[in-house]
Structure 1
Amino acid sequence: MTDSIAAGRPAATVHGQSRLRAYARLGKLDVYDYYLGIFLALTAALFPAGAFTARQALVMAMFLAGEVAVLMAMVALDDVTGFRDGSDLANYAPDNPLRNKARKPLVAGALTVPQALRFAWACAAAGAVLWAGAAALAPHHPLWALVTASALFVLSLQYSYGLKISYHGFQEVFLVALGAVLVIVPYGLVTGGFSGFLMVQAVLFGFGPLMFGVYSNTNDVAGDRAVGRPTVAALVSERGNAVFIGALSVAELLIGAVASATGVAPWWFVLLMLPATALRARQYLTGFVRGDIMTARRTGFAVHRLSVVLMTVANVVVGTGAAR
Structure 2
Amino acid sequence: MDAFTPVDAGRGALRPGGGASASGEVTASGTATSRAGAAAPGAGTAMGAARPGAAGGDARDGSGAGTALGAASAAGTDTAFGAAGGGTGGVGAEGAARLGAAGAVASRRSAESAPGTGTTSGAAYASGAAEARTAAAGGGTATSRAGAAPPAPGARARLVAYARLAKFEFVLDYYLSMLVLWTALAGGARFAPDTFTTLLLFLLGEIGVISAVMALDDVNGIKDGSDRANYLGAGGTPLRPLARKPLLTGALTVPQATRFGYLSLVWGAVLWTASAVAAPERPLWALVVTGLVLFAGFQYSWGLKLSYRGLGEVLIMGCPLVIVVAPYGFVTGQLPALVLVQAVLFGLWQILVSCYSNTKDISGDAAVGRSTVAVHASARGNLLFIGALSAVDLLLTVGASAVGWAPWWFFAALLPEMALRLRQFISFSRNGDALLARRRGVVAFRTGVAGIVLANLIHFAS
Question: So what's the TM-score if we normalise by structure 2?
Answer: 0.66
Larger Rg: 2
In structure 2, which of residues 213, 217, 221 is the aligned counterpart of residue 74 of structure 1?
A: 213
1:148 Cα deviation from its structure 2 partner: 1.0
Task: Single out whichever of 265-274 and 117-126 deviates more from structure 2.
Answer: 265-274
Select the residue among 277, 296, 305 that pairs with 1:164. 305
Residue 18 of structure 1 aligns to a residue in which SS? helix
Distance 1:232 1:155, change over 3 A: same
Quickly say closer, same or farther: Cα 1:111–1:51, change in 2 above 3 A.
closer
State the Cα distance separating 1:317 from its structure 2 match. Answer: 1.6
CA contact (8 A) 1:6 1:113 kept: no
In the alignment, is the contact (CA less than 8 A) between 1:158 and 1:165 conserved in 2? yes
Q: Can you give the 5+ residue segments of structure 2 that lack an aligned partner in the other structure? A: 1-82, 89-140
2:409 is aligned to 268
1:54 aligns with 2:54: no
Find out whether 1:153 has 2:284 as its counterpart.
no
Q: Which runs of 5+ in 1 are unaligned?
A: none
Contact 2:149 2:249 in 1 (8 A): no
**Structure 1 counterpart of 2:380, from 218, 227, 239:** 239
| Identity level (%) | 46
Aligned AA (2:152): T
Q: Does structure 1 residue 21 correspond to structure 2 residue 180?
A: no
Q: Which residue of 1 aligns with 2:39?
A: none
Cα pair distance change 1:6/1:154, threshold 3 Å = farther
Matched, 1:128 2:269: yes
The answer to which of 152-161 and 86-95 deviates more is 86-95
Question: Which structure exhibits the higher relative contact order, with contacts defined as CA atoms closer than 8 Å and separated by 6 or more residues?
Answer: 1
Q: Does 1:93 align with 2:240?
A: no
Name the residue aligned to 2:93: none
CA distance in 2, matches of 1:235, 1:210: 17
Task: Please name the residue that 2:248 is paired with.
Answer: 107
Residues 43 and 315 in structure 1, CA contact (< 8 A), matched pair in contact too: yes
CA distance in 2, matches of 1:30, 1:201: 23
Aligned to 2:181: 41
RMSD: 2.0
2:198 partner amino acid: V
Q: CA deviation at 1:6?
A: 9.6
CA distance in 2 between partners of 1:57 and 1:119 (Å) = 28
- One-letter amino acid of the structure 2 residue matched with residue 42 of structure 1: W
Q: Is the 8 A contact 1:98 1:294 kept in 2?
A: no
Q: Which has the higher helix share?
A: 1
TM (normalized to structure 1)?
0.93
Q: Which residue type is aligned with residue 71 of structure 1?
A: I
Aligned residue identity for 2:337: G
Give 1:126's aligned amino acid. Answer: W
Of 286-295 and 85-94, more deviation after overlay is shown by 286-295
User: What SS does the aligned partner of 2:169 have?
Assistant: coil
Count matched residues: 318
Offset of residue 10 of structure 1: 6.0
Aligned to 1:210: 351
Match of 2:428?
287
How much has 1:50 moved relative to structure 2?
Answer: 7.1
Q: Could you list the per-position Cα deviations for residues 123-155 of structure 1 after superposition, in whole angstroms to 9, with x for gaps in the alignment?
A: 111111111111111111111111111111010
Q: 2:325 aligns with which of 161, 184, 194?
A: 184
